[in-house]
Structure 1
Amino acid sequence: MSYANEVTDAKASTLTSRLRLAVVRLNRRLRAQRANSTVSLTQVSAMSTLYKCGPLTPGELATREGVQPPSMTRVLSALEEMGIVSRKPHPSDGRQAIVELTDLGRKMVVEDITAREAWLDHRLNTLTEDERAVLSRAAEIIDRMAGQ
């Protein structure tokens, strides 16, 4: 390997590490801004998916969340007990159910999003216009990297 390749590899590795750590730290700070700590992060994630995607079967939700169906069943049972989700019969498959957020569940997701975005908005307002422009471009690139 040539010196130029080693330098390029070292720079890429440094960017990789810096970006990974920055994303982890930002994610940690955003999670700390949760409006309601009565639900777990796993439950919040399931709620957010239902909010974004609408009603789903438990299997579809498990797939989107990347968990096994029995794990999702436990999550949904707890959320249902709290009145955050409700189940209704599947319109064409009697073996299935459709899960959706209740009004309380939608309200909780909106409150959570609002709290996190308020914190992030406050932090963004401390930056210069140029820094915000760089982050705007970086957000587009990160979305593309994440496959959004």
Structure 2
Amino acid sequence: MTFEEFVEARLQALLRYAVMLTGDPHTAQDLVQDTMIRAQLKWRRIAAADLPERYVKRMITNAYVDLHRGSWLRRVALRGVDLDTGGQEPDHADSLAERDEMWLWLDRLPRQQRAALVLRYYEGLSDGEIADVMSTKVGTVRSWISRALATLRTHLTPTVAGS
């Protein structure tokens, strides 16, 4: 497979993956663009790997974890007004507000924990596969996921209790 064929077949999936990691489509585009430039320069070695897509995802994950700059975009969490809907379907704004709140929660996590959650729940990878992508041990992956979920639960619990 040539680099051009790989890009044509997998670019959109790699962009979606990067958006899940970063929480920001513009940062994700920058991350994927930089990674694809590096991948093109190393394409012979990447193409020789058993799974070129996994190799490139590892490159994206490592680039995300290594970002030393903070988020330049501050997000504002929108909260839906709790109105009696009279049996109607919930307002679309409520689901958007919940999604925005989830992005804020994910943004509070350390990069490794967030990456591990995205690989588990968005990409559907096993602990061993996540460890392979993140170049670490399975126990470390389990620890990151456990800590991330515990952190998210502490943010979720007051919201649920207040409802």
User: By percentage of residues, which structure has more strand?
Assistant: 1
TM-score norm. by structure 2 comes to: 0.28
Q: Which has the higher contact order (CA 8 A, sep 6+)?
A: 1
Larger Rg: 1
TM-score norm. by structure 1 comes to: 0.30
